[in-house]
Structure 1
């Protein structure tokens, strides 16, 4: 079940984020050090500004964050990956937010890119950014409204 976030979900959101964040960078040549969400003011601010939704199945196992048609986060607890949770969250957002959706993804994160492409997102730009002061190539992906 997908439902809106409430304040009681904060600790679990942080747990999932902290356990999953480096997984999105696992294909990079350089190893990264985790900046926990609680201490990452840039990413915490982006989440706080967003509408958050959690996927519950005997507890929260994933979440997504959307702000002004930008998907700012989509994280799934590692043991539930490959079971359709991320895809369900993505479909849920696509169905409820009409308009041109966009998101940003590490260019090396081919599994995530494949999922987004399957749902109509296309790479429109690449640029150099950083995570915890380490450089990362990222891509902007857009899904045109249908």
Structure 2
């Protein structure tokens, strides 16, 4: 099993859309419900997927995950369900955290215990919990946990 992280290329769009659309359903199933699902094509522009840097993870040559990072915030992290619990999310997260010089923030939906566990195991601390419109489908209400990672000073 070989995980490689590289910069997103336009040719990755179909894989990234499949990853998001599959994993987002799992994320919503554990939180606000799948009724809130909108596919990536409907949300990527308004949610600013490409506002910052985007990296993809390849597992044995297949794109199976992606992460987006903008202004010291992890804005997107998704791993295709076939690659859950194989180190892909951790590799993507470490790719960002290894480059961080300032605190890094992210929000994880309440109920997404696997993702929260990963973030906590990498040193993120719960900063605040908020309830409000679900990012990506504001007609639904969600509770999110804002977590912060503070890099060690060298």
- Normalised to the residue count of structure 1, the TM-score between the two structures is 0.91
Runs ≥4 in structure 1, deviation > 6 angstroms?
A: none
For residue 80 of structure 2, the aligned residue among 77, 82, 87 is: 77
Whole-Å separation in 1 of the counterparts to 2:30 and 2:65: 21
Cα displacement (A) at 1:17: 0.6
Cα displacement (A) at 1:31: 4.2
Q: Which residue of structure 2 lines up, in the alignment, with residue 139 of structure 1?
A: 145
For residue 6 of structure 1, the aligned residue among 1, 5, 9 is: 9
1:27 and 2:27 correspond: no
Whole-Å separation in 1 of the counterparts to 2:32 and 2:145: 17
Contact 2:30/2:112 (<8 A) preserved:
yes
Q: Deviations 1:51-95 (Å, cap 9, x if unpaired)?
A: 000011222011100001100111111011011111111111111
Cα displacement (A) at 1:144: 1.1
Whole-Å separation in 1 of the counterparts to 2:72 and 2:95: 13
Unaligned runs of 5+ in 1: none
Whole-Å separation in 2 of the counterparts to 1:28 and 1:62: 21
3-state SS of 1:47 partner: coil
Cα displacement (A) at 1:106: 0.3
Cα displacement (A) at 1:29: 5.9
Contact 1:22/1:32 (<8 A) preserved:
no
Whole-Å separation in 2 of the counterparts to 1:47 and 1:126: 23
Cα displacement (A) at 1:22: 2.0
Decide which structure has greater helix share: 1
